[in-house]
Amino acid sequence: MNTVLYWFSGTGNSLHVARFIDTLAPGDAYVFVVMTYGGAPGSAAGITRKMLRRRGIEPAAIYGVQMVENYPPLGGAPPEEKQRQLLDEGERRIGEIVESLKASPRGHVDRARPLFRLLGRLAYPLFRWGLKRSDRKFTADDKCNSCGVCVKVCPIENIELADGRPRWLGRCEQCYACFHLCPQSAVQRGRKTAEQVRYHHPAVTPKDFMFRGE
């Protein structure tokens, strides 16, 4: 039996995890979740479980993997040395999860500390409220050469080129693929991101995100 994996990724962290566990073959109707996060998972486990239950799906196990933080509004990615440390720890954790999933466990949930879960529950509604408006802060600076990579890597087709410049269409999910995968580092969010470190998982290339236009 094949395992069907659904993933959503902007910098390759989640895609890398999905590839790592792609050889697994759990039993019938076994649903599991593996979340990647930067600083802390917050209330993501509870929110994900609730979303699945609304669709009649009960997750048997929920795991979390800390990967490289890359969210521009919170400062973006750390220096390369810190990235390597986090990636090494992430590989070890992914291996543990794969070994655990071989037994098709039920009832396992990786939870954040209570304080982080509370903060997550408080922050999530605000995040969702501002999500569709968030791409109003995106711009392309003078380094933009109209290559169109930002258009091709956006997983929800939220970017188009207008007169050779990217234009965001108001349905952003804040994956930041356009920001991190731009070859010229030309995509900016507000006025303070020009010097931020761009990041994508070293095992993933921008072409892995190009679902159209090739």
Residues in Cβ contact with 1 at an 8 Å cutoff, skipping those fewer than 6 apart: 25, 26, 27, 28
Residue 213 has pLDDT above 80, yes or no: no
Return mean pLDDT, the chain.
92
Enumerate the domain spans of the chain. Answer: 13-131, 134-209
pLDDT digits (tens, 9 = 90+) for 99-152: 999 999 999 999 888 888 888 888 888 888 888 788 999 999 999 999 999 999
Residue 52 has pLDDT above 60, yes or no: yes
pLDDT at 1: 58
Instruction: Identify any residues that bridge with 167 across adjacent strands, giving them in sequence order.
Output: 160
Strands (E) across the chain are located at: 32-37, 61-66, 108-109, 138-140, 159-162, 165-168, 187-189
Report the top-level CATH class of 134-209. Answer: alpha beta
Q: ∠134-167-210 over CA atoms, to 5°? A: 95
At residue 214 the predicted structure's pLDDT band, cuts being 50, 70 and 90, is very low
CB 62 within 8 A of CB 108: yes
pLDDT digits (tens, 9 = 90+) for 54-69: 999 999 999 999 999 9
**Quick one: which of 154, 151, 137 has its CA closest to 190?**
137
pLDDT at 212: 52
